[in-house]
């Protein structure tokens, strides 16, 4: 089979959610460097504007709350008014509260589903409404390697990421004859603020936000359904699922992969949690970055950990 010719990125319009910092910021930079015209959507409008100004060129920023359909529609409309028809949507915004499942508040669970899953569903639908009539487009959804495995310590987050993986595959089948590509990107542990306090585990290679950004750019150039970062996670998962359940559990314990979320050091996440605590959209329309949300207080009244990015 002939190797697929790369598709040009120069001049294409890319709308990116949660683009003010972390993976989103690195992706906006990489896309702009490749010649794309980038629209950054983020709950933290001011930081998003600063990011866009630093990147320069055809890059601009607009307020976006991915949990609000009207906000998402306005963001895409602004992108098209400013840059032209959206060729690619990158659903990047997400949160990752950690802790024992039985201690998680209902509000925290609902908030995760609203951002990590419903936000992706809403953005994908709105993008498809624009792309299908043109017979072209690409939706890139940021999930996580956690969407293929199930370590303890973040059960609702894990459930959302599994759902995004399945959603992307199903939509890819629905749109395969419409000229629209769908990609799900599944990073392992990414060296962003979200990973603060996560333990190192044998056999789990940490990656930089720029590594994920480069993988997204390459996936836009050469569309494919599944993208793992680093790439060796793909073969690792395919081999792992062939093992009996007990063998899978033994391997996870041997590499400490089963403790990557459960053994997080929350004292080392305090700065991140403090910032996230100021980012509840209901408190301020310009509070903080898309995906940065305070987890409601637990039964003892102390703020519980929150996270951002779609990486762990």
At residue 284, the pLDDT reads 40
At residue 267, the pLDDT reads 74
Please report whether residue 298 resides in a domain: no
Decide: 18 and 308 in contact? Cβ < 8 Å.
yes
At residue 312, the pLDDT reads 47
Please report whether residue 287 resides in a domain: no
Q: Which residues are catalytic?
A: 157
Q: How many Å apart are CA 178 and CA 140, to the nearest integer? A: 16
Decide: 105 and 296 in contact? Cβ < 8 Å.
yes
Mean pLDDT of 87-91: 98
Please report whether residue 290 resides in a domain: no
- Look up the CATH number of the domain holding residue 59: 3.40.50.720
Q: Picking from 73-82, 265-274, 298-307, which range would have the lowest pLDDT averaged per residue?
A: 298-307
In which domain, by residue range, is 227 found? 13-276
Q: Domain total for the chain?
A: 1
Mean pLDDT of 58-75: 96
At residue 63, the pLDDT reads 96
Please report whether residue 7 resides in a domain: no
Residue 173 has pLDDT above 90, yes or no: yes
Residue 291 has pLDDT above 70, yes or no: no
Convert the pLDDT of each residue in 21-60 to its tens digit.
999 999 999 999 999 999 999 999 999 999 999 999 999 9
Please report whether residue 5 resides in a domain: no
Please report whether residue 281 resides in a domain: no
Q: How many Å apart are CA 45 and CA 286, to the nearest integer? A: 6
Mean pLDDT of 150-157: 91
Please report whether residue 186 resides in a domain: yes
Q: Picking from 81-95, 133-147, 195-209, 281-295, which range would have the lowest pLDDT averaged per residue?
A: 281-295
DSSP the chain: -PPPPPPP-TT-EEEEES-SSHHHHHHHHHHHHTT-EEEEEES-HHHHHHHHHHH-SSEEEEE--TT-HHHHHHHHHHHHHHH-S--EEEE-------S-GGG--HHHHHHHIIIIIIHHHHHHHHHHHHHGGGT-EEEEEE--GGGT---TT-HHHHHHHHHHHHHHHHHHHHHTTTTEEEEEEEE-SBSSGGGTTPPP-TT---B-HHHHHHHHHHHHHS--SEEEESTTHHHHHHHHTTS-HHHHHHHHHHHTGGGTTTT--GGGGHHHHHHHTT--TTT-TTSS-TT--PBPP-TTSPPBP---SS--
Please report whether residue 220 resides in a domain: yes
At residue 294, the pLDDT reads 32
Tokens for 135?
């017979």
Among candidate residues 169, 201, 199, the one with its CA nearest the CA of residue 182: 169
At residue 105, the pLDDT reads 87
Mean pLDDT of 227-249: 83
Residue 124 has pLDDT above 50, yes or no: yes
């Amino acid at each position: 089979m002939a190797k697929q010719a790369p598709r040009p990125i120069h001049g294409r319009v890319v709308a990116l959610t949660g683009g003010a910092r972390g993976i989103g910021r690195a992706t906006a930079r990489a896309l702009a460097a490749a010649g794309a015209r980038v629209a950054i959507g983020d709950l933290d409008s001011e930081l998003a504007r600063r990011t866009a100004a630093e990147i320069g060129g055809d890059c601009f920023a607009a307020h976006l709350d991915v949990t609000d359909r009207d906000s998402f529609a306005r963001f895409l409309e602004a992108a098209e008014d400013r840059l032209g028809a959206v060729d690619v949507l990158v659903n990047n915004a997400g949160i990752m509260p950690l802790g024992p499942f039985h201690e998680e508040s209902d509000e925290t669970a609902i908030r995760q589903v609203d951002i990590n899953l419903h936000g992706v569903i809403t953005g994908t639908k709105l993008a498809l409404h624009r792309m299908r009539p043109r017979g072209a487009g690409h939706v890139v959804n940021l999930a996580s390697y956690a969407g293929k495995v199930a370590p303890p310590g973040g059960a609702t987050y894990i459930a959302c990421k599994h759902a995004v993986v399945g959603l992307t595959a199903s939509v890819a089948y629905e749109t395969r004859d419409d000229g629209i590509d769908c990609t799900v990107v599944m990073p392992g542990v990414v060296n962003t603020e979200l990973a603060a306090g996560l333990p190192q585990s044998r056999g789990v290679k940490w990656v930089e936000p720029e590594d994920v950004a480069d993988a997204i750019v390459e996936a836009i150039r050469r569309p494919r359904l599944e993208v793992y970062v680093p790439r060796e996670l793909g073969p690792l998962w395919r081999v792992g699922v062939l093992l009996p359940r007990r063998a899978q559990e033994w391997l996870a314990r041997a590499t400490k992969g089963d403790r990557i979320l459960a053994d997080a050091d929350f004292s080392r996440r305090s700065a991140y949690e403090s910032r996230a605590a100021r980012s509840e959209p209901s408190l301020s329309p310009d509070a903080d970055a898309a995906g940065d949300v305070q987890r409601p207080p637990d039964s003892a009244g102390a703020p519980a950990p929150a996270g951002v990015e779609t990486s762990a």
